[in-house]
């Protein structure tokens, strides 16, 4: 069925205007981005095709699809594929921008919320060093390593050289688990304790180690694993 043949109140644009974006399904919102369909499928059907080829079979899977994979769908050309990927990237940045960069990083929830949309989609482990001043305000962050899907390897020496250069008083480790489960591994606990000991010697306190999963996080400090 062509979109024009839909009941007027069921067309994505009209439905958006009349009921607001919250009333639209993921496919309908994606159809607005796609704008036009192909001879075989209307824009909503194309949106469903995109969602269905993703690993998660959900809108989250759009983050993992490449431009080449999107273009394999008949009706999705290079321009539409780029537009879809641009929206996916924008969603990550909008989510991160909700937490002001100058906000005090005093709770694991604030920190996890700030990095969640960026880190939950990584297919490999990324280990981040977050540096804070005396008031737990953000100074800078620095990627220590990109590991395998099982473990991140990091050198305390590299971390503390960076922290000393930025005159950080506190540091926080943050990394993702591509499996989506943020439960700490033995290696995560070992790394945390090694970094904390080194920080205690140098006078730069490790405040926490936060693991990002799929929409959830784990604070090793809250778990008592320091």
Identify whether the C-beta of residue 217 lies closer than 8 Å to the C-beta of residue 188. no
Whether pTM exceeds 0.75: no
Tokens of 179: 């499996």
Residue pLDDT, tens place only, 103-155: 678 899 999 988 998 898 888 999 999 999 998 889 999 999 887 644 455 67
Mean pLDDT of each 10-residue bin along the chain, 226 residues long: 58 87 90 86 90 84 88 92 91 69 79 90 92 91 78 75 95 95 93 94 96 95 91
Question: With 0-12 CB in 10 A as exposed, 13-18 as middle and 19+ as buried, what is 167?
Answer: exposed
Dihedral (Cα; 79, 83, 85, 86), 10-degree rounding: 130
């Amino acid at each position: 069925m062509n979109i024009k043949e839909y009941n007027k109140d069921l067309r994505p644009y009209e439905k958006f205007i009349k009921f607001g974006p919250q009333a639209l399904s993921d496919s309908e919102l994606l159809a607005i981005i796609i704008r036009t369909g192909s001879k075989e499928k209307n824009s909503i059907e194309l949106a469903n095709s995109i969602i269905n080829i993703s690993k998660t079979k959900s809108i989250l899977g759009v983050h993992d699809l490449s431009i080449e994979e999107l273009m394999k769908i008949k009706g999705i050309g290079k321009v539409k594929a780029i537009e879809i990927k641009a929206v996916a990237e924008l969603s990550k940045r909008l989510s991160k921008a909700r937490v002001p960069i100058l906000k005090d990083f005093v709770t694991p929830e604030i920190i996890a919320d700030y990095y969640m949309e960026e880190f939950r989609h990584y297919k490999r482990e990324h280990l981040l060093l977050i540096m804070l001043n005396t008031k737990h305000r953000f100074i800078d962050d620095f990627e220590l390593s990109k590991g395998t899907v099982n473990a991140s390897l990091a050198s305390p020496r590299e971390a503390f050289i960076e922290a000393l250069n930025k005159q950080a008083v506190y540091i926080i480790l943050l990394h993702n688990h591509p499996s989506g489960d943020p439960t700490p591994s033995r290696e995560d606990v070992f790394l945390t304790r090694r970094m904390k000991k080194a920080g205690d010697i140098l006078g730069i306190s490790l405040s926490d180690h936060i693991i990002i999963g799929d929409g959830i996080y784990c604070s090793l400090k809250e778990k008592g694993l320091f």
